[in-house]
Structure 1
Amino acid sequence: MRLFLSECYRLDHAICDRKFFEWQFQADPSDGNASVLCGWENDRLVGILGYLPFSVHWGELGNPYPAVWLLYWMVRKETQRGLGWLLTKRIQEKYTLLLTVNASELGGPFFKKLGWAFFPRVARYTCVFDKKQCVPLLFPSAIESDLDKMIFRPIFPDPDSITEVALNKENYHPDWKLYSGLSFGTVRSLSYLTWRYFKHPVFKYYVILKGEAQRPAVCIYRIEKAFGIYDALVGRIVDFFHPDDKQGKTDGLILMQGVLQYLKNKGCSYVDFICSNRTYSQTFLDLGADEEPNDRQILPVRITPIQHTLRHQNFAFLAPQGGHFPVLENMHITKSDIDGDGPALIPKNDSR
């Protein structure tokens, strides 16, 4: 496996780091087995496909459905065509609900041929804290006045201060029937959030709650240091959800404003939020954010280093025959789903 990864990826790519690999593919500490399907030619590893089984809400809150997320599909260039298809078909034989994000240019058409629903763009929203800092980061096709439509506008005069929490059964056991916005998406269980955020080998995530344990509003974010043509701090909202009722929406709005105010006070130039769900993204819009256009970008997505390359997060799924087939806006797909929010490289002197 190590030889395959070193020959197919950059040596500083995250997947080539053992600690990251074992976390990403949930390697068993007792025997090292990981959730990776392998393709072989004789004794030579020629292709891999990662798969992570997780419970997913699929139209029935409180009745999780077994699903699998696919990630890191890679086949050697010189390998006979068809191996990628065989690996995917093998997974499809075991699961009836499959999902993936950030398929490559080849992957998108490939999944569509296999009958998957493919969405080329999950909406991205941006909110500006410091216009002066953002000007040097603008895409060449953008102009300074584009930033005026996405300036942070607090609603509450005295927002709550935010405090990071360590999740546990006492402070986090949501009644999922209160969260219609999560009707289609990964179950945000305590075990899932612990693996995805608290055990991440590279990024430092912050989880903030507001409300009672059975009905919390939840916001998860991190701060990234942009470098290249300009140095800046950028906030990343990677997940956000709240109960449906009036109190839940209010808690969500107060929570989101508190997080944005904190990011502004920390010196972030802007913050972004990739989210398919219109209910939860509306809270971000209410505080001054704006949705990114379909055909161009104002501020960069890739910032380590800064790249002015048009890039959208895509999403695809294969649903059970005769089952629910939701529109993207009713699903909850975010930047952090499985491997959507990953490091561009592993820092040589990583402090985590």
Structure 2
Amino acid sequence: MFSSIVKNAAEIFDFVLVLSAGPEAQKAYKKLGWTIFPNLNRYVAILNKKRFDTFVGKNSFEQSDFQNQINLERIKVLPSNFDTFWEETKIRFPITTNRTKNYLNWRYIHHPLIDYHFLVLKKNDKMVGYAVIRFETNNESIKAARIVDLIVNKEKELEIFQQILNYCQNKVDFVDFFCSGNFFEEVLKYLKFYNVLDSVPVVFNPLDPNRKHDLNLQFTSKLKNSELNKCENWYIVKGDSDQDRAN
């Protein structure tokens, strides 16, 4: 039954993508000839090492460094120059979600259930980047900030991630960021974001340490484009799937 549904979907659409398939489903995708990519990176920055280490039960990684100044602005309405920013910036990411105003308003800004923090970085009143943060602080064991979407100009990568750490300081014990590709790898390593998959839970509402810790990625396509088969071309984040949802 499952294989039949998958086959029908692949016949109807030119392109079908699945993020975070279960083990049995992924076996079916492999059998049907889908392209299976490595798991998404999960970068974790520790903001409160004492509480984080107590939770994981060991002496873990180094704590990230903070600065006092916060230059991020939380917004409820996208800036008038957003379209220009997106058109200029999207060329960095060969394969990714088309982040139109309608999409971002529907997905994050006007979400009826989740209080997303849509944060904008500006220089001289010009938008140069944004990040979408979801705070998960409803339990006493461990508190998290999840970067569920992020787009930024190349030259402002370091600043926006540093500003995220500043923004989340004293609010949570760690920040995590699921993404494919290596677009931000150098900056994230510099800021002590560690690429881990199994040290802390993924599900926090309620806290569930037994749920799988990875987000896998697979697709099938009728399009004759060899660039689709190169994992480094893909920029997929947690917000691109139902893995970030109200429980």
Tell me the equivalent position of 1:163. 73
Residue 284 of structure 1 pairs with residue 188 of structure 2 = yes
Match of 2:172 in 1: 268
Residue 95, structure 1, aligned to residue 23, structure 2: no
Cα pair 1:276 1:333 within 8 Å, conserved: yes
Of 236, 239, 243, the residue aligned with 1:336 is: 239
Deviation at 1:170, TM superposition (A): 0.8
From 225, 234, 257, the equivalent of 2:162 is 257
Distance 1:198 1:258 in 2: 20
Matched length = 243
Aligned to 2:115: 204
Q: Does 1:306 align with 2:207?
A: yes
Per the TM alignment, residue 259 of structure 1 is displaced from its structure 2 partner at its CA by: 1.8
Instruction: Name the amino acid aligned to 1:127.
Output: A
Q: 1:183 to 1:165 in 2, by over 3 A?
A: same
**Residue 194 (structure 1) shift:** 1.0
Distance 1:178 1:198 in 2: 20
Aligned letter for 2:195? E
| Segments ≥4 residues shifted beyond 4 Å | 212-215
Which structure 2 residues correspond to residues 67-86 of structure 1 after superposition, within 5 A? 83-86=1-4
Query: With structure 2 as the length reference, what TM-score do the two structures score?
Result: 0.87
> Shift in Å at residue 281 of structure 1?
4.2
Q: Distance in 1 between matches of 2:45 and 2:23?
A: 29
Whether 1:320 and 2:225 are equivalent positions in the alignment is no
Residues 321 and 222 of structure 1, relative CA distance in 2, 3 Å threshold: closer
Partners of 2:127 and 2:163 in 1: CA distance: 18
Describe the SS at the equivalent of 1:217: strand
Q: State yes or no: 1:125 paired with 2:43.
A: yes
Tell me the SS of whatever aligns to 1:203: coil
Gaps of 5+ in 1: 1-82, 346-352
Structure 2: distance between partners of 1:282 and 1:307 = 31
Equivalent of 2:61, from 104, 128, 147? 147
Q: Which has the higher contact order (CA 8 A, sep 6+)?
A: 2
Cα deviation per residue 1:182-232 (whole Å; 9 max; x = unaligned)?
Answer: 2111111111111111232321111112237886311111110253xx433
- Is the aligned partner of 1:180 residue 2:91? yes
Aligned counterparts of 1:93 and 1:206: Cα–Cα separation in 2: 38
Query: Are the structure 2 counterparts of residues 316 and 300 from structure 1 closer, same or farther at C-alpha, using a change threshold of 3 Å?
Result: same
Equivalent runs, 1:192-231 vs 2, <5 Å: 192-211=103-122, 216-227=128-139, 230-231=140-141
Larger radius of gyration: 1
Contact 2:70–2:166 (CA under 8 A) maintained in structure 1: no
TM-score by length of 1: 0.63
CA distance in 2, matches of 1:306, 1:114: 35
Query: Could you tell me which amino acid in structure 2 is paired with residue 306 of structure 1?
Result: L
Measured after TM superposition, the shift of residue 339 of structure 1 is 0.9
Amino acid at match of 2:159: I
Identity %: 23
2:230 maps to a residue whose letter is V
Q: Give structure 2 stretches of 5+ with no counterpart.
A: none
Distance in 2, Cα, partners of 1:153 & 1:99: 37
